[in-house]
Amino acid sequence: MNNAPLNQVELAPPIPSKFDVIPIHASDAATFKRCRRRWQWSSPMNMNLTGKVSQMGVVMPLWFGTGIHYGASQYYDPRFQRDPVEAFVSWFDIVWRGGIVDEHGLELSYDREPKPYLSPAQSGMMWQVRGLYDLLADPIEEDFEEHKELGIKMLQFYREYAKKNDNFRVIAAEHTFSVPVTHPTTGEVMRAIDPRDGIEKEVHARGTQDAIIQTDQGLYGILEHKSAVDISEGYFDKLDKDEQCTRYLWAAQKEAELHGLAYKKLHYVLYNAIRKTYPKPPTPIGKDGLMFSIDRSKESTTIEMIEQFIKERNIGLVIANDEKRQNYMDYVRHAGDDQFIERRLVTRNQHEIQSCGERVWMEAMDMLAPDLRIYPNPTGDWACLKCAFRGPCIAKDDGSDWQQILNDNYELNKGR
């Protein structure tokens, strides 16, 4: 057992500029292993491109998930402990409508051409940014407003859930880490030629941890927020080999060692899965709307709401003799809040964490090899069919002007 002191809050250690090191993110390594062409175009250590919002729009599930993540991360910042609903609404207003923002708001905005805004009433630099309402070619306002309402209700429910279920304290808020990649045996820091400018630099594993937490027993771990449409049992099958979980535990321990932080050993990731819905009455079905849906993938009701539905329609006798609906009610009763939020403890022992460090080294060696070959890996799976670079990829193979497609439709990704 770790007998570390409780209630000790750590400030995020300073990190070098992403241009002073060669940054490698967990997502970069995953993309490299999936498709080298996409990796070259999207990686921060290469061209670092992302689709222009004005040309390609936003991927709604990812965009919305960013907002939910922002609300949750602000709630768990021990310095401020913002209400998650207020934080989400603030995020939504900036990204949807824009306005006058500080540096923090500038990071949230999708506007790549902000205008400096000087006002004697403000301290520090401010910017005028456009929101998606102005940036998108044809925004459907109703879709965004529906997602705003969904986010508010999700986080209202989460706020009450957290009050009842949080059995940990936050030791360090969400922060970006940057730790040197070292040789597994000698500990020597890897250096390589930066593909961006041809200068030799240290190679760093880089990413963002949602929070470092500690239990009453003194055990340290990482809190990881995820949002998804479906968080049923199959959603968690990946966790025993989830590379991000393992890599972040490895990086957190390395960061603590480098900067003398309290959490020298981390034991787990608390995987905090938030379903993209909230408790609402069952959906009426049938000719007269007297019966209720039992579609578990779409419904998000509670046993109290079902019982109220039955009472209002006076169908108790009918339901008592309906085996399928009795089974569904048993499921809802048993699932409780797990329908909406489920937390799984993902553990890794020190051998697994050490093995991850060896992988990070080998992957970096491959990604920075002087004779690296770049080629596409076309498949028929979802990741290839929905790839953000599918257009220029096809063009490069069929002899079209793929470079012009990149110039017209993509821009530097400021966030990485």
Quick check: 347 and 271 in contact, CB under 8 A? no
pLDDT tens string 24-79: 999 999 999 999 999 999 999 999 999 999 999 999 999 999 999 999 999 999 98
Q: How many CB atoms lie within 10 A of CB 240?
A: 10
3-class DSSP state for residue 117?
strand
Percentage of residues in the chain having pLDDT higher than 90: 90
Question: 164-197: per-residue pLDDT in tens?
Answer: 999 999 999 999 999 999 999 999 999 999 999 9
Burial pattern 47-61, b for ≥16 Cβ within 10 A else e, equals bbbbbebeeebbeee
For residues 261 and 247, give the distance between their C-alpha atoms in angstroms, rounded to a whole number. 18
pLDDT of residue 33: 96
Closest CA to 393 of 402, 384, 401: 402
Phi, psi of 212 (to 5 degrees): -100, 130
Residue 119: pLDDT over 80: no
**pLDDT confidence of residue 278:** 97
Tokens 């972040």 identify what position?
A: 248
- CA distance linking residue 249 with residue 350, whole number of Å: 10
Query: What are the pLDDT digits (tens) for 238-293?
Result: 999 999 999 999 999 999 999 999 888 999 999 999 999 999 999 999 989 999 99
**Mean pLDDT value across residues 86-93:** 98
Q: How buried is 139 (Cβ within 10 angstroms: 0-12 exposed, 13-18 middle, 19+ buried)? A: middle
User: Which tens digits make up the pLDDT trace of 343-374?
Assistant: 999 999 999 999 999 999 999 999 999 999 99
Q: What mean pLDDT value characterizes the chain?
A: 94
What pLDDT score was predicted for residue 121? Answer: 64
Helix (H, G, I), strand (E, B) or coil at 315: coil
Which pLDDT value is given to residue 122? 62
**Rg from Cα positions in the chain:** 24
pLDDT at 262: 86
Q: What is the pLDDT of residue 7?
A: 53
Q: Look at residues 71, 120, 121, 119 and name the one whose alpha carbon lies nearest to residue 95.
A: 71
The domain ranges of the chain are: 22-276+341-412, 284-339
Q: Which residues pair with 128 in a beta bridge?
A: 100, 115
